[in-house]
Amino acid sequence: MADETDEQQLREKIAFQRSFMANFPTLTTIAQKWGISSPETKSKAQLIKELSDNEEQLELLLESERIAAAVRLQDELHPPQNSEDCPICFETIKHVYSKTISRLYCCGGWVCDKCRNERNSTGMKKGVDEMFHGRCPLCRDTLINDSDQKRENSKILEHANNGRAWAQSLVGTWYMDGTYGFALDKEKGLRFKQQAADQRDPGALAEMALEYDKGDTVERNESKYLHYMKEAADLGHTEAQRIVGGNFESCDKKEHLHYITLAASQGDPKACSLLGLHFLYADCGLTKSLILAKHYAEKSLEETDPEALPTFAYNFSNALYHLSVERNFILVTQTLVGAYLPVGTVAKFISMIETKEKSRCANCNIKAEGSSLKRCVRCLGAWYCGKECQVQHWKAGHKFDCIKS
C-alpha cells in the first residue's frame, strides 16, 4: 500500500514539474541568451535535475516491483529447499550455499556474510576478535586460522567423508585441480562432486553441469548440462541463473528475462549488464528505459573480471550518452567513465557510440548507412529509416523524450 502511495505521489509531482517547465524556454535557449554560468541557466538546469531525479526514483520503484514479482513467481514455482536462519543475527538466508554464507570448518556450520563482514571489520579496526573471541559461535571449538591450511583441509575432508555435500563439492574440486595439497585425481574428484550434486548442493550441481558441457572428465551431454544448470538455478545459484537466462537456445524470451532478472537482483554484474542492454533497446518485452539502462550498466561495473570490464564500461557510457541526449543537458561522461577506463580510451568509446547510433533506426533497430537515415530535427538524438518509423517512435514515447536541442 505504501509503494502504491509513493508511486502516485511521484507521478503527480512529475506531471506538475513537466507542466511547469513547459512554460519556460529550453535550457539551450536560456544558456545562449544569458550565458552558461548565469543564475537563469542554473535555475533551469536545477529544474531539469529535480525532474530527472523524480523520474529516476519512480522508475526504480516500478523496477523493484517487477523484481519482487519475479522473485515471488520463482518461490511459487520452486519453493526454497535450503532456507535457514543465521545463528548469529537470525536473518533468514533463503538459499544457503557457498556464495551466500561463510562456512565454519570446525563443525561445518555457518554464519551469514553480513555477520562475517561485521566480524572482519571489527577485527581489522581493533586487532582483536571482539565478536567471536577466537571460538566458533556454534561448537565453541577454537576457530581454524586461515594460515593453518593443513588443519583446515583435514577438517573439510573429514566432513566430506561424513557425507556433507558442501565439503564433498570442495574436495572434489581440489582433487580435480590437484590443489590445496590434494594429489591430482580427476576420477576421485568427480565422484565427490557427483555425491554432492546428488544431495542437490547448488554449487556442485552447477559444477557438474559445466563438466558435462566441457566433456573433459565425462562424455559431453547437453541435456545433462541443461538439467544440472537449471536445477542449480532453481536452488538460487546466482551464476547458474545467469547462465540459464543467457542460453537463448534453451529458453524463450520470457524465461530468459526471468532468470536474468533473478541473477541481477542478487547483484551478478554480467546479468546486470545484460539487463541494462535490454532496457536500452527495449528487448524481451521490456519498455525502453534509459534510466534503468544506466542503473544496471553502473551496477555491472562491480565486475572483477578485467577482460569483461571494458565492455561493461562501454555499455555504461552508451547509456549515459543516450540519457544526456534525452535530458538535453551535458553529463560528464568522460569523468564518470574515466574512473573505470584509461582516459585515452574514453573519447574513442564516445565516438564509437555516436557512430553506432547514427547507423541504426531508433524505431525498428535496423542498421543502415548514416546518409540514408533521417535525423530528428528537434532533439538531434534519433535517426530513422523513414517517415513511418519516425511516426511510430513518436507515438511509442519519443514525444515525451524529444527535447529541442
Tens of pLDDT, residues 65-98: 999 999 999 999 999 888 899 999 999 998 888 8
Question: pLDDT tens for residues 110-134?
Answer: 999 888 888 877 665 555 667 788 8
If one counts every other C-beta atom within 10 angstroms of the C-beta of residue 296, the result is 26
Note the pLDDT of residue 387.
86
321-325, 337-341, 366-370: which has the highest mean pLDDT? Answer: 321-325
Taking only Cα atoms into account, the Rg of the chain, rounded to an integer number of angstroms, comes to 26
Question: What angle in degrees, to the nearest 10, is found between the helix axes of 290-300 and 39-77?
Answer: 70
Distances 232 to 47, 58, 202, 261, 396 between C-alpha atoms, Å = 48, 34, 5, 16, 39
Query: Which of the four pLDDT bands, split at 50, 70 and 90, describes residue 342?
Result: very low
Q: Is 226 helix (H, G, I), strand (E, B) or coil?
A: helix
- Mean pLDDT over the full length of the chain: 82
CATH 2.40.390 is held by the domain 81-143: no
| 184, pLDDT greater than 50 | yes
Which of 80-114 are b and which e, b meaning 16 or more Cβ less than 10 Å from the residue's Cβ?
A: bebeeebebeeeebebbbbebbbbbbbebebbbee
228 exposure class (CB count in 10 Å sphere: 0-12, 13-18, 19+): buried
**Residue 329: band (very low, low, confident or very high) from pLDDT cuts 50, 70, 90:** very low
C-beta separation of 86 from 112 below 8 A: yes
> Mind listing the pLDDT tens digit for each residue in 214-268?
998 899 999 999 999 999 999 999 999 999 998 756 568 889 999 999 999 999 9
- Whole-structure pTM value: 0.74
Residue 116 and residue 98: Cα distance in Å, rounded? 13
- Residue 300 or 334, more confident: 300
Residue with grid cell 565439503, as numbered in its chain: 167
CB 75 within 8 A of CB 24: no
Q: For 374, phi and psi rounded to 5 degrees?
A: -100, 130
CA distance 162 to 170: 14
pLDDT at 356: 60
**To the nearest whole percent, how much of the chain has pLDDT over 90?**
39
For residues 231 and 81, the answer to whether their CB atoms sit within 8 Å is no
The model's confidence at residue 47, banded by pLDDT at 50, 70 and 90, is: confident
Contacts of 205 (CB under 8 A, 6+ apart): 197, 228, 229, 231, 232, 235, 237, 240
**pLDDT at res. 170:** 94
DSSP 142-159: BPPPTT-HHHHHHHHHHH
Q: What is the pLDDT at residue 400?
A: 63
